[in-house]
Structure 1
Amino acid sequence: MISLSKYHFRQIPQSFACLVFLSQSQKIRPAPSEEVVPLRFGIQGFGLFRADAGPYPDIFRTVRSAGFRLLEPCIAFGPVPGFERMIWPADQVGPLLQEALDSGLAVESCHVFADNLSACVPRMAELAGQFGIRQFVVKTPPDMSPLSLQQAALQYMDLADSLAGFGAGLLIHNEAEDIRTRVRGKTAYEYLLDLCLGKVGAQVDAGWAMIAGEDPVRLLWRNAHRVQSLHWKDFRGSEETRIGAGELPAEACFQFARAMGIPQIADQDSFPGGVSADLDSVYSFLNGMVQTREKSVSYLNTYDIETGEIRTLHRFDRVIEAPNWLRNENAMLYNSGGRIWRYDIASGAETLVDTGICTGCNNDHVVAPDESAFAVSHGNVTPEEGYTSRIYVIPMSGGQARLVTPESPSYLHGWSPDGKELAYCAFRTVGGSTEVDIYTIPADGSAPEKRLTQGGFNDGPEYSPDGRYIWFNSTRSGLMQIWRMKADGSEQTRMTSDDRNNWFAHVSPDGKKAVYLSYRRGDLDPREHLPNMQVELWLMNSDGSDRKRIVSFFGGQGSINVNSWAGDSRQFAFISYELLY
């Protein structure tokens, strides 16, 4: 079994050649009116353009409407008789790439065919500068003898050095034969990568690896330090089939790509169900895995902001999420499997809390200021409403749950210090479209909810300890950033402004500090916070000053969705995760 232990957490101390350009029990939310694009899914152009003889702009629109955001075409610097439809001639590529961009598709990668790789570098530089192409991938040469592979490695390293001069990189793409062929105890593919001395990365085609008899999951993790893109191809027996309909271990491959934050390119040589229908099916299949967390274990950790010390309190052989640190006793609450659990810090024992009818609790739960009760977001799926989430209040000792928000979906994040009001994120139909905003409601549910925000995707509302402010996160400025407003919704002020997606600011009990979760830009849509990714925790003063990264770890959804500060304002809790493959 291969473990992702190195991604647990780390503290931050202050012949005709072919190339390829490449550049969650979770909260489940319905799509808002603007389409959410969670990860970087793309489509390879060769089979697509062979299957669809229509005008390219129409194909681009079909790809975009299916949900894909990346297009990976093939480009030829030289004649390719009979393949001009699938491999674009160099003198036509500019207008075609521009049409793809105009259709809403990014081109971070493309296969390039050329007799002389070095002679193509100037033109590659032009394409990279004009269209955002950043990485190139070469194939293993047909002759896989040690001598030939050594020669190829020297050529590829020289090419990688040239590409680096304009900010691009070089990858190697595998097929079946270079996985099947062994050279000195390794696959020819990995042998060639080793010869390149770390200058060249890998683009792994999981389907070709499987058909060659290699476990694609082991291949991916074995080369995790150099895989920069995943190609999806699927087979049933020896016959290629639609992606998701074959024997590829899809969830394991997907979790690898999500963990590494790399593009995922669907590569089908045929579309037996028709291009539009197959594109829809493939995208739905890939997108349907964004919250998968199979083979995940959880670690409950604390962080000391004065010393920087991280303590791992417990390892759980299941997914736990969103710790609440009780301030009147040495214990925490968290959710797992739709239920709320209580963890005693001194003994390490956990106890299931009786939540009555609320057996679908997600990672949005908070504790009453006097700790006499806690509130949960409880969801289920019904034929009438689909997925629902409503807020309930439950006695701290457990028991009958009391409904607060009849409207759904509602996701709780804050309880006012005076105990009178709850703040939450809600999806509501406004003017015929679904809007995602911050709402408040009396904790006893005695009055209608009040909408506080408009514009963008707004989430994670939490009261400051003095009750004057509500902190939240919003995409109104583009990326997800941390904001703060008066408790009545006035004076909405941006608190972070950087090139990352920042979620869930939690203010310390003394009101002096705020910790928040941060994703890398480009790893996912700003409106999504997915699990099992490379993320960071940042700490800042409550006026937004002195922001600093404090921990980099493997987590995301469930790590710190709700306030987890200890009563001394010195420590907070968070969950990190580990994948076991």
Structure 2
Amino acid sequence: MQFGLQLFGIYDICKKNPETLFKKLSDIGYQYVEPCIAFGNLGGFEQSIWTVEEFERMLPLLKKHYLEVISCHVFSLNLQEAVPEMKRLSVQYGIQQFVLNCPDELTKVRMQEVAFSYIQAAEEISKVGARILIHNGSSEIAKKIDGRSAYEWFMDACLGRVDAQVDVGWLLFAGEDPEQFLWRNKERVKSIHYKDFKTPGNPDSEVYLGQGALDAVACFQFARAMGITQIIDQDQSQGDVYEDLRNAYQLLDGLGQCRDNTVSYLNIMDTKTGEVKVLRRYERIIEAPNWLKKENVILYNSEGYIYRYDIQSDTEIRIESGECNNCNNDHVISADEKWLAVSHGPKDGGFASRIYILPLMGGIPRLVTPNTPSFLHGWSPDGEKLAYCAFREHDGHQEVDIYTIPAEGGEEKRLTLGGFNDGPEYSPDGKHIWFNSTRTGLMQVWRMNRDGSEPVQMTMNESNNWFPHISPDGRKVVYLSYRKGDLKPTEHLPNMQVELWMMNYDGSGKQRMLSFFGGQGSINVNSWAADSRHIAFISYELIHGIK
């Protein structure tokens, strides 16, 4: 995913050597920064943050190190006078969010007065597509007005014209449950600041994210589910500040595949009418449905095994798979429906998936790809070849490409070169392989000849598009779409807001079929029914702590 850093806490470092700072932040993995900007004279405080002119001078250096600015904190003694300059920065540099603080005086009269000003500013900058966000400290959370925090009272006074940037550390500091607060205000929270304290209420106990009392997992799961910006905001460091920022980033980045407190739904969709039927709810993770063509049965993986689900009887049976007890969501069925190919890696073997073939009804698996990691996605209709995504070392660095191998085993053949390539699937006539690739920037759907020649880009939009699946009659293709900016183009993460799209085989007639909560595991492999009309997919529900 993509994470940012608030620069206020490290402004002194930034002022002394911005080049070193920006390079180190980029090397750690940060994708954007959030500066504090003074609009006009602030009686000396502007010397502690950037002026507009300083911000503009820093932009080439930020760009050099691949750091974006999508939000900034605004400091101004006269907000209405600052609005024209805010609009200019939005248009010229793409700033989408301008963050303001709550009033210092937390009375109804003063907050109502400030709300009028914020509403006016929000309506004006909305004309250029930007938004006003309100940031919280601890005092406006601790103070209660009419049974809710002063922060929430103030947000209500702004009549929905502004959004919330919630600092979950200050929530914790003030004695508020961050998870419950976030979900209670989910419609207006558009950004999260992460701060952590060992002892809530003690300002001297601030530590880097993950070392304190904050439930970072719950906050991250909310932010990922809502598709909002996530910004680390650390004002103090007990040691090496760069090491602290690295540890904080790695904590969040490592949560990408976290699926705690998640339940699954097995669904089928009529692609002609758009009707969705929920077949079953599971109190565990299931992934990647395969719909058999000769039986009304759907296969999926769960907890390392493959299961057969009979639609008519609403029953599931685990397929015996021998040593393959850690199967992932990359599995396909042979055209004659006699064999099942799975991707499996040892539970203690890390990133070491290999491909195996076993009888469809279960049995002893046979290894096909000794090289690892290999993630299966396609089986040619003539039964001769398997197509898969593989991570291989070339010239000293790892590349991710499409490979094929004889189903009986043998030498693998590389079909792609350049970009991150995944999700290969044969067309029903065996002439083409469809796949997704980042070779032009974002993840897009591609099609090539079976031998890897003549690749053609089939989607060209501002989304990250994954896993094209061709209908049995060869006329339609469905694929999964993530919003640009929600994650890196090379990621396909779970528990996010995604869309199911469909197009004709020639790439025409693209239409959005459904928006839902899913992602990784929803349609990793082909799940069309034999009628070329219905498709199976998995959606998820995040069980959270709101009361």
Q: Name the TM-score class by shorter chain.
A: over 0.9
**Could you tell me how far 1:98 is from its partner in structure 2?**
3.1
Q: Which residue, 445, 456, 477 being the options, matches 1:493? A: 456
Asked if residue 394 in structure 1 is aligned to residue 385 in structure 2, the reply is no
Residue in 1 aligned with 2:148? 186
Could you tell me whether the CA contact under 8 Å between 1:135 and 1:170 is conserved in 2?
A: yes
Could you tell me whether the CA contact under 8 Å between 1:537 and 1:549 is conserved in 2?
A: yes
**Could you tell me how far 1:131 is from its partner in structure 2?**
2.3
Could you tell me whether the CA contact under 8 Å between 2:42 and 2:76 is conserved in 1?
A: no
Asked if residue 234 in structure 1 is aligned to residue 234 in structure 2, the reply is no
User: Greater CA deviation, 90-99 or 433-442?
Assistant: 90-99
Asked if residue 413 in structure 1 is aligned to residue 380 in structure 2, the reply is no
Q: Would the alpha carbon gap of residues 543 and 90 (structure 1) be closer, same or farther in structure 2, given more than 3 Å must change?
A: closer
Question: What SS does the corresponding residue of 2:273 show, helix, strand or coil?
Answer: coil
Which string of whole-angstrom CA distances, capped at 9 and with x for unpartnered residues, describes residues 467-487 of structure 1?
Answer: 111111111111111111111
Residue in 2 aligned with 1:66? 28
Q: Which residue, 340, 344, 352 being the options, matches 1:378? A: 344
Asked if residue 467 in structure 1 is aligned to residue 430 in structure 2, the reply is yes
Question: What SS does the corresponding residue of 1:229 show, helix, strand or coil?
Answer: strand
Q: Would the alpha carbon gap of residues 65 and 106 (structure 1) be closer, same or farther in structure 2, given more than 3 Å must change?
A: same
Q: Which residue, 299, 317, 320 being the options, matches 1:354? A: 320
How many residues are aligned here? Answer: 540
Residue in 2 aligned with 1:157? 119
Q: Distance in 2 between matches of 1:356 and 1:509?
A: 31
Q: Distance in 1 between matches of 2:127 and 2:291?
A: 50
**Could you tell me how far 1:306 is from its partner in structure 2?**
2.3
Residue in 2 aligned with 1:293? 259
Q: Which residue, 478, 484, 494 being the options, matches 1:531? A: 494
The 5-angstrom pairing of residues 97-246 of structure 1 reads 97-237=59-199, 238=202, 239-246=205-212
Q: Which residue, 494, 502, 523 being the options, matches 1:560? A: 523
**Could you tell me how far 1:113 is from its partner in structure 2?**
1.3
| Gap runs ≥5 in structure 1 | 1-38
Q: Would the alpha carbon gap of residues 308 and 126 (structure 1) be closer, same or farther in structure 2, given more than 3 Å must change?
A: closer
Q: Distance in 1 between matches of 2:270 and 2:439?
A: 33
Q: Distance in 2 between matches of 1:274 and 1:353?
A: 51
Q: TM-score, normalised by structure 1?
A: 0.91
Residue in 2 aligned with 1:518? 481
**1:338 partner amino acid:** G
Question: What SS does the corresponding residue of 1:554 show, helix, strand or coil?
Answer: strand
Which string of whole-angstrom CA distances, capped at 9 and with x for unpartnered residues, describes residues 473-507 of structure 1?
Answer: 11111111111111111121111111211111111
**Could you tell me how far 1:71 is from its partner in structure 2?**
0.8
Q: Distance in 2 between matches of 1:309 and 1:114?
A: 52
Residue in 2 aligned with 1:262? 228
Q: Which residue, 429, 442, 454 being the options, matches 2:393? A: 429
Asked if residue 571 in structure 1 is aligned to residue 537 in structure 2, the reply is no
Q: Which residue, 93, 96, 99 being the options, matches 2:55? A: 93
Q: Which residue, 342, 357, 367 being the options, matches 2:308? A: 342
**Could you tell me how far 1:52 is from its partner in structure 2?**
6.4
Q: Distance in 1 between matches of 2:439 and 2:356?
A: 29
Q: Would the alpha carbon gap of residues 318 and 531 (structure 1) be closer, same or farther in structure 2, given more than 3 Å must change?
A: same
The 5-angstrom pairing of residues 11-26 of structure 1 reads none
Q: Which residue, 393, 405, 414 being the options, matches 1:441? A: 405
Residue in 2 aligned with 1:24? none
Q: Distance in 1 between matches of 2:456 and 2:185?
A: 44
- Greater relative contact order structure (CA < 8 Å, 6+ sep): 1
Q: Distance in 1 between matches of 2:348 and 2:499?
A: 36
**2:185 partner amino acid:** N
Q: Would the alpha carbon gap of residues 66 and 86 (structure 1) be closer, same or farther in structure 2, given more than 3 Å must change?
A: farther
**Could you tell me how far 1:110 is from its partner in structure 2?**
1.6
Q: Distance in 2 between matches of 1:499 and 1:368?
A: 34
The 5-angstrom pairing of residues 315-326 of structure 1 reads 315-326=281-292
Q: Distance in 2 between matches of 1:217 and 1:307?
A: 38
**Could you tell me how far 1:81 is from its partner in structure 2?**
6.6
Q: Which residue, 447, 454, 465 being the options, matches 2:417? A: 454
Over the aligned positions, Cα root-mean-square deviation in angstroms equals 1.5
**Could you tell me how far 1:539 is from its partner in structure 2?**
1.0
Question: What SS does the corresponding residue of 1:93 show, helix, strand or coil?
Answer: helix
Question: What SS does the corresponding residue of 1:92 show, helix, strand or coil?
Answer: helix
Q: Distance in 2 between matches of 1:77 and 1:459?
A: 47
Q: Percent identity?
A: 56
Q: Would the alpha carbon gap of residues 246 and 224 (structure 1) be closer, same or farther in structure 2, given more than 3 Å must change?
A: same
Q: Distance in 1 between matches of 2:495 and 2:393?
A: 31
User: Greater CA deviation, 422-431 or 488-497?
Assistant: 488-497
Q: Distance in 2 between matches of 1:441 and 1:526?
A: 27
Residue in 2 aligned with 1:503? 466
Which string of whole-angstrom CA distances, capped at 9 and with x for unpartnered residues, describes residues 430-464 of structure 1?
Answer: 1222111111001010x200111111111000011
Which string of whole-angstrom CA distances, capped at 9 and with x for unpartnered residues, describes residues 135-176 of structure 1?
Answer: 112211121111112111111101101111222111111111
Could you tell me whether the CA contact under 8 Å between 2:346 and 2:352 is conserved in 1?
A: yes
Q: Distance in 2 between matches of 1:118 and 1:84?
A: 18
Question: What SS does the corresponding residue of 1:279 show, helix, strand or coil?
Answer: helix
Question: What SS does the corresponding residue of 1:441 show, helix, strand or coil?
Answer: strand
Could you tell me whether the CA contact under 8 Å between 1:153 and 1:192 is conserved in 2?
A: yes
Q: Distance in 2 between matches of 1:301 and 1:451?
A: 35
**Could you tell me how far 1:271 is from its partner in structure 2?**
2.0
Q: Distance in 2 between matches of 1:300 and 1:109?
A: 38
Asked if residue 327 in structure 1 is aligned to residue 293 in structure 2, the reply is yes
Question: What SS does the corresponding residue of 1:525 show, helix, strand or coil?
Answer: coil
Q: Distance in 1 between matches of 2:138 and 2:95?
A: 26
**Could you tell me how far 1:80 is from its partner in structure 2?**
5.2
**Could you tell me how far 1:372 is from its partner in structure 2?**
1.1
**1:179 partner amino acid:** I
